[in-house]
Amino acid sequence: MSQPLATTPSLEAVTESIIFPPGDIYSDEPPLESDLHREQIDLLIRLIKWWWRDRQDFYATGNLTIYFSPNQKKSEEFRGPDFFVVLDTEKKDRKSWVVWQEDGKYPNVIIELLSNSTASVDKGLKKQIYQNTFRTPDYFWFDPNNLELQGFHILDGQYQELVPTESGWLWSQQLGLYLAVYLGKLRFFTPDGLLVMLPEEESNQQLEQTNQQLEQTNQQLEQTNQQLEQERQRAAILAERLRAAGIDPEQIF
C-alpha cells in the first residue's frame, strides 16, 4: 500500500511560524520620493535630537517601519511614517519600531511628507490609522514642494485641526514646540518664537555674534584713537601758542 505524499509547508507558512527575537525585525520602507523628502526627514531628526540632547527618554526617527500586528506578525499591520517621536521610552538605536516589544507604545508625534503618490493616503487612510489605532496625539503633514502644512490633535478620540497662529505656525503639544516653514523647510520653534537650530547653526550664530562684538570693539578703539589724536593736536596747538608768548611749555609741568 502506497504511503501518502508528505506535504511541503509553504514559504509563507514557515515565515509566519518563526518567532523573531526582540529587535531583529528590520524596517521595510521603500526609497524616498526625492532629495527634498530625504533632506527634510534628516533635518527634523537632527533638530529634535540636538534640542533634546540631554534627555534619555525619547526615540526619534524617520522612514522606519512600525509593526503593530495584534498577532505579533511582521507580515501584517505595519506602517512607516516619514518622521515620528515616541516619548517615555529608551533612547537607543533600533532596526524598526515593534509595538509589542515596546510596551505597546505608539508614536506621540507623526509627520508625513506629502508627494503626488502619497498625499491621498497620508490625508486619508494613514490619518485614520494614526487616529483610531495608534491614537497618536499630534499628527502633521507637510509638502516639501508647495509648502502645505497642516496639523491635528486628538480630542475626544477624534483629530481636530490645529488653528495656526497669525504667522502660520502650528503648536505641537507633545513636543512643546511650534512647527513652521522657514526658508523652504519645516522647522521647529520654541514657545518664545526662537528657531530651534542645528549645532552648526548655533556655532555660526556664536561666531557671527563674536565677529559683531569684535567689530564693535574695533569701532570703539578707532573712536578712542581719534579722540587721542584730537587731544594730541590740541596739545600741539597750545604748545605753539605758549612758545609764541615766550613761554616754554616744558617748564610748565
Q: How confident is the model at residue 233 (pLDDT cuts 50, 70, 90)?
A: confident
Backbone torsions φ then ψ of 32, nearest 5 degrees: -75, 155
Confidence check: pLDDT of 8 > 60: no
Please state which of the ranges 125-139, 147-161, 231-245 shows the lowest mean pLDDT.
Answer: 231-245
Return the residue matching grid coordinates 518622521. 83
Confidence check: pLDDT of 176 > 90: yes
Please, is 137 exposed, middle or buried when counting C-beta atoms within 10 Å of its C-beta (0-12, 13-18, 19+)?
Answer: buried
More confident residue, 71 or 102: 102
CB 139 within 8 A of CB 127: yes
Nearest CA to 175 out of 87, 43, 70, 88 is that of 87
* Bridging pattern class, strands 78-79 and 83-87: unpaired
More confident residue, 47 or 229: 47
- Tens-place pLDDT, residues 13-61: 433 443 444 455 665 555 556 889 999 999 999 999 999 999 999 999 9
- Tens-place pLDDT, residues 73-113: 776 788 999 999 999 999 999 999 999 999 999 999 999 99
Please state which of the ranges 51-60, 204-213, 230-239 shows the lowest mean pLDDT.
Answer: 204-213
- Say whether pTM exceeds 0.75: no
- Tens-place pLDDT, residues 184-204: 999 999 999 999 999 999 877
The Cα 69–Cα 233 span in angstroms is: 88
Beta-bridged to residue 182, according to DSSP, are 185
Confidence check: pLDDT of 130 > 80: yes
Beta strands in 156-195 (DSSP E): 158-161, 170-172, 177-182, 185-189
More confident residue, 225 or 207: 225
Task: Determine the pLDDT at residue 212.
Answer: 67
Residue 207 neighbours by CB under 8 Å, 6+ apart: none
DSSP for 5-39, please give it: PPPPPPHHHHHHH--PPTT-----PPPPS-HHHHH
Map residue 219 onto helix, strand or coil: helix
